[in-house]
Amino acid sequence: MNDVFEEEAKLRKWMDVEIALAKVHAELGRIPKEAPKKIEQGSRRVELSRVLQIEHEIHHDLMAMVKALSEQSGDYGAYVHLGATSYDIEDTATALIFRDALSIIKKRLLSLSQILKSLALKHRKTVCIGRTHGQHAVPTTYGMKFALYYTEVKRHLQRMEEAEKRILVGKMSGATGTRAAFGKDGEKIEKRTMELLGLSPVRVSNQVVQRDRHAEVLSLLALTAATAEKIAKEIRNLSRPEIAEVAEAFGKKQVGSSTMPHKRNPHKSERICSLARLVRANVQTAIENIPLEHERDLTNSANERFIFSESFIVTDYILSQLSSVLEGLELFPENIKRNLELTKGLVMAERVMIYLVDSGKMGRQDAHELMRTLAQDAFAKKKHLKDLMVEKKLLKKDEAERLFDYSTYLGDAETIVADAIRD
């Protein structure tokens, strides 16, 4: 991902667009047929250092590339950048960069989805306590957790594929989008140039491709980073000593703290959560780039030199780190079982309530009120709810044993997991 956003790579993409434009001019007989080949050959001799030297003199990065490319193209340098404005080249090249960058992100997401799928299958019967509002709810499975994450990651892949038709676009329409500098061939030049580059032409533009498209790209990355944070935050919380159901892999020589030798910090998960904030913050800047003045101003340009590369590189890193964490994730079955029993059966109150209704012993509201008061009573007396109900002759012992078996109160969890990870 770093390679995609290197200055050298950007320069090459700019020149790719210039070469495509020259080829179209030649196809239409507007410049000599041999010009595109000479310009393409010249592009191989252009060095970033020379472009930067020219930029230092003229204070215009795109024009510095044009001059450097013209220098290396001999007499055919006169045909470089013919009829184009800077952002015909820059915005079209940005779409080419986005295409390469999105390809990497999609591969990362696909790899992550396969890890989650494997974990969902492996733990489809690993019963654990579910938590809502930070409190114990009813049993679920780790398979459900991983299947939920799997489907979310797959949605990000779908979003990116669906959004590419809006994102992978370019323009070759001149200073205000009218294509006036290309004369009668303007429409042909724009369409054919984009065709050669594997992009779609925008339907209408001004001097730039409209920034809602770029904001969408960064929003997709932010959504992806938010899911990664969601998973990482769950790992962090489940790693707390008082829960201790999971833990990041910890190397034999790994140090958790400079002063507390016992520490086993979930530092990779914390890093993911930290960096996700950065990716989300960049979306705000991208959105503020949308309302440029008139046919455009330059207020988007400087920050885009940071937010595009930063968001892609950081998201790529986040996904890499998360895959590493999940591949090495440790689960502690004894603690998972301990936490299921932590409330002494209170988490099965819902099941008993439904049973009392289904067996015709009382109505739903009465059953709810009974279980609510019994739960409070059991909590106050530090008794197991099952034992209290048997003691009060509300359940027979065999009924109680069956109703308080956590592994049999999972509904369709196993089927849900199987359905969720079926591609």
Q: If you average pLDDT over every residue of the chain, what do you get?
A: 95
Confidence of residue 249 (pLDDT cuts 50, 70, 90): confident
Note whether 78 and 109 are same-domain residues: no
- Looking at the fold, whether 236 and 381 belong to one and the same domain comes out as no
Full residue range of the structural domain in which residue 331 is found: 97-171+208-338
Give the CATH number, domain containing residue 142: 1.20.200.10
Q: Are residues 372 and 240 in the same domain?
A: no
Q: State yes or no: pLDDT of 31 exceeds 70.
A: yes
Q: How many helices (H) and strands (E) does the chain have?
A: 16, 6
Task: Write the CATH number for 395.
Answer: 1.10.40.30
257 is an active site residue: yes
Mean pLDDT for 274-294 is 97
d(CA 377, CA 224): 45
CATH at residue 36 = 1.10.275.10
From 103, 257, 274, 407, active-site residue: 257
Question: 331 forms bridges with which residues in the sheet?
Answer: 246
Q: Compute and round to an integer the Cα radius of gyration of the chain.
A: 30
Asked whether the predicted pLDDT for residue 263 surpasses 70, the reply is no
Mean pLDDT of all residues in 244-268 = 75
pTM recorded for the entire structure: 0.93
Dist CA 204 CA 312 (whole Å): 27
Q: Are residues 69 and 138 in the same domain?
A: no
Residue 423: predicted pLDDT? 79
pLDDT (tens digit, 9 = 90+) per residue, 176-222? 999 999 999 999 999 999 999 999 999 999 999 999 999 999 999 99
The number of distinct structural domains making up the chain is 3
Catalytic residue among 49, 56, 59, 133: 133
Of the residues 314, 338, 362, the one at which a domain ends: 338
The pLDDT score that the predictor gives to residue 259 is 59
Residue 258 pLDDT > 70, yes or no?
no
Q: Please give the Cα distance from 163 to 88 (Å, whole number).
A: 21
Q: Is 295 within a domain?
A: yes
Dihedral sign for Cα atoms in the order 65, 68, 69, 70: positive
Same domain, 164 and 213: yes
Q: Do 294 and 378 reside in the same domain of the chain?
A: no
Predicted pLDDT at 266: 85
Q: Examine the domain organization and report whether 60 and 102 are in the same domain.
A: no
Is 239 part of the annotated catalytic residue set? no
Residues 118 and 50 in one domain: no
